[in-house]
Chain A
Amino acid sequence: MALATHQIDFAAIEAKERAATKKKWPSVIVALLISLIWVVPFYYMAVSVFKTHAEYTANNPLSIPEGMSPIVDNAISAWNTAKMGAGFANSALYGLVGAGFAVFFAAMAAYGLTRISFKRQNFWFMLIFAGTIFPFQIYLIPLFFAYQKVGIINTHFGMLLFYTAVCIPFPVLVLRNYLNGLSREMDEAARMDGASEFRVFWSIILPNCIGPMTATFLLQFTWIWNDLLFSTVLGNREEVRSIMNSLQIFHGSYTTAGPNLSLTAALIASLPAIVLFLLLRRHFMEGMRVTGV
C-alpha cells in the first residue's frame, strides 16, 4: 500500500527539526563554557610540564610552551629530587599487593558468609562491615603506638598489613550481595560429587566473581594509591614512602622547586589512576554504581 505522502507536511517537520537543533546550539555553548572550569586546570598542568622554570615565570601561566624538550628535564628532576621513582614503586607495591590480598580475603569471607549455613551469620558480617563506619582519624594514634611497639612502623610489611585490613570490609559487602544473587546449583552439584569446600570456592565461586572482584580491586587500588593520611603516619621514612607522601613533601618545598616541577610531580603521581580509568572505565563505573564511592 502506498504511503499517503501528501498528507505529511514535510516542510513543517523540517522546520520543527531545524528549530530543535537551533535551540540546542546555545545550550552546547553554555555547556562548553561550563566545562572550561574543568578543562583549564588540566590544560594548565599539561602546558606547565613542558616549561622550564625561567619560561614559566616569564610568561602567562596559560601560554603555550615554546618547546617540548623541557619535559625530559622536569620529569628527571621530579623523579630524582622528589623521589617520585621510589614512591611510585612503593605505592605500586601497596596498591597491587594490598588490594589484591584484601579482595581475595573478602571473597573468602563472602563465601563463608553465603555458602555455608551457620548460626549468627549476620553478627559475623556486621563485625567485618564495622570496619567501614569509623572515620580514619580514630585509627591513627593506636596504630602508631602499636606499630612502634611491634617494630613494624616504617616498614613495607606494616604498610601492607594496614592497607590490606582497611580494604577488606567494603569488598565483603559487595561480594556478599553478589554471591547471594548467584545461583547455588553449580556448587551444590560439585558438593554432591564430593568436592571439598575449598575446591568449591576455588574452582566454582572465584571464576564466577571475576567481574565484581575486578571492580572492587580497582576501587581499593585507587584508594591506596591516593592515600596520604596513613602513609604519612605509618610510613614516613624515605624507603617506604608512598607516592602521595613524596608529592606532598616535594610540594612543601615549592618555593625552591618551582611550579613546573611541582606540577610534573603531580602529573606523574596521577598518571596511573588516569590510565587505569581510561582503560577500564566500564569496571570503574560498575564499581561506582554498586557503591557510590
Chain B
Amino acid sequence: MAHFPHRETDLQLMERIGWHQVKAVENRAMKRNFWKAFAFMSPAIVLVCGLLLMPVVYNIYFSFTKWKKFSGLDEFAGFSNYARLPGNPYFDAAFYNTAIWVAASIVFPLAIGFGLAVFLRGVAFGNVFKNIIFLPRILAPTAVAVIWFHVYAPHGVLNSLLALVMGQPVDIGWLYQDNTVTPAIIATFVWQSVGLVMVLVLLGLSAIPKDPLEAARVDGATNAQAFWHIILPLLMPTLVVVTILSVLSGFTTFDLLWVMGVGYPGQRTLSLAVYMYFESFQKGSWAFGSAIAVIIGIVVFSVTWIQTVMQSRVDRMTR
C-alpha cells in the first residue's frame, strides 16, 4: 500500500517549482511587449483619440452649456438645450423630414435592389446592366446632386421627357415645390445607393449553398416555397446589413439635401443633419447645435445596437 507522508497543497507545489518567478518574468515580458506594441499603435491612437474621441466628449459637454459670446461655452445649462428642442418648429420639421427619409431608405433601396438582383441574375448581359446600375455609387454625392438638380430643373430632362409622353410642354419645378421636393431628392438617393444594395444581395445569393435547394426540389417544393423557406432565411444576414447601411446613410444624408435644396425656400429639405449645420455654422447657436448632434448620435447608436441584436438573433436562427 502506497504511503503519502506529506501531501503538497497547490500553493506549496507552485512555490517548489518556482511558479511565482515564472509568472513575474512573464508579467515583465508582457509589460515590455505592451510598450513595443504601443510604439506601433501610438500614431493611430493619438490621432483617433485627439481628433475623433475627444471631440465627441467635448460635443457632449458643449450640449450642456450656454453659449456666451466672449467667455466661450462655459456656463453650465443642464438640459435646457435639449428642453428647447421639441416644440421648436424647425426641429419638429427636421425630425419629421428625417423620419420620412429613414422610412424611405428602409423600403426603397432594399426592395428595388433586391428585385434588380434577382431579376438581373437570369438575364443575358446581366453583368453589363449590373455595372451600369452600380456606376453612380462611385460618384460623389455632390456631383450626383448637381447632375440631378439640372435633371429636375424646369427646363430639365425630366420635364422634357414628360412633355414627350404627354404631348404638351411641362414646366414643373420639381425642387421648388413642397410636395415634390422630398420625393425627388429621395429618388436621387435611391438612384445612387441601389447599386450597392444589389451587389451585396448578389454576393449573398451566390454564397447560398446549392444542396438544401436541390434537396427541397427533390422533395417537390415549388419555387415560391424554396424562396420563402430556404433562400430568404439564408439571405437574412445580408438583408440585415444592407438595411442598416441604407438607414444610416439615409439618416445622415447631408450633401444631397444641401446641394439640391439650394434654390428651395421651404423647410422640407431640413433634415436633422442639415439643421445641425444650419443652427451652428450659419446661426452661431453652438450649444444648441451640439445638442442636435448628440440626438443624431443617440439615434445612430440605437440603430447600430438594433443591428447587433438582430444579427446575433439571425446568426442563431441560421446555425
Contacts and interface: CB of A to CB of B under 8 A. Distances in A.
A65 interface: no
A140 interface: yes
A168 interface: yes
Nearest to B120: A31
A289 B297 CA distance: 27
Given A61-B157, A127-B49, A138 B59 contact: yes
Nearest to B238: A292
Contact of B55 (A62, A142, A251): A142
Contact of A34 (B41, B50, B116): B116
B169 to A, nearest CB: 11
B140 interface: yes
Contacts of B151: 41, 44
A172 B263 CA distance: 41
Interface string B138-168: 1111110111111101011100110000000
Interface residues of B, number: 91
B196 interface: yes
Interface stretch (B80-88, B129-137, B177-185, B224-232): B129-137
A248 B258 contact: yes
Interface in B222-263: 241-242, 245, 251-252, 254-255, 258-259, 262-263
Given A27-B122, A112-B38, A251-B259, A35 B133 contact: yes
B189 to A, nearest CB: 14
B310 interface: no
Contact of A266 (B31, B33, B146, B281): B146
Nearest to B44: A109
Interface string B90-116: 000000000000000000000000001
Contact of B157 (A44, A144, A288): A44
B52 A141 contact: no
A13 to B, nearest CB: 19
B48 A168 contact: yes
Contacts, number: 268
Contacts of A144: 281
Nearest to B274: A137
Interface residues of A, number: 92
Contacts of A146: 55, 58
B82 to A, nearest CB: 15
Nearest first, the 5 A-B pairs at minimum CB distance are: A112-B40, A226-B140, A165-B51, A142-B55, A142-B58
Interface of A: 24, 27-28, 30-32, 34-35, 37-42, 44-45, 48, 57, 60-62, 105-106, 108-109, 111-113, 116-119, 121, 124, 127-128, 130-131, 133-146, 161-162, 164-166, 168-169, 172, 197, 201, 222, 225-226, 228-229, 232-233, 244, 247-248, 251-252, 254, 259, 262-263, 265-267, 269-270, 273-274, 277, 284-285, 288-289, 292-293
Interface of B: 30-31, 33-34, 36-41, 43-45, 47-56, 58-59, 62, 73, 116, 119-120, 122-126, 129, 132-133, 135-136, 138-143, 145-151, 153, 155-157, 160-161, 191, 196, 199-200, 203, 241-242, 245, 251-252, 254-255, 258-259, 262-263, 273, 276-277, 280-281, 286, 289-290, 292-294, 296-297, 300-301, 304
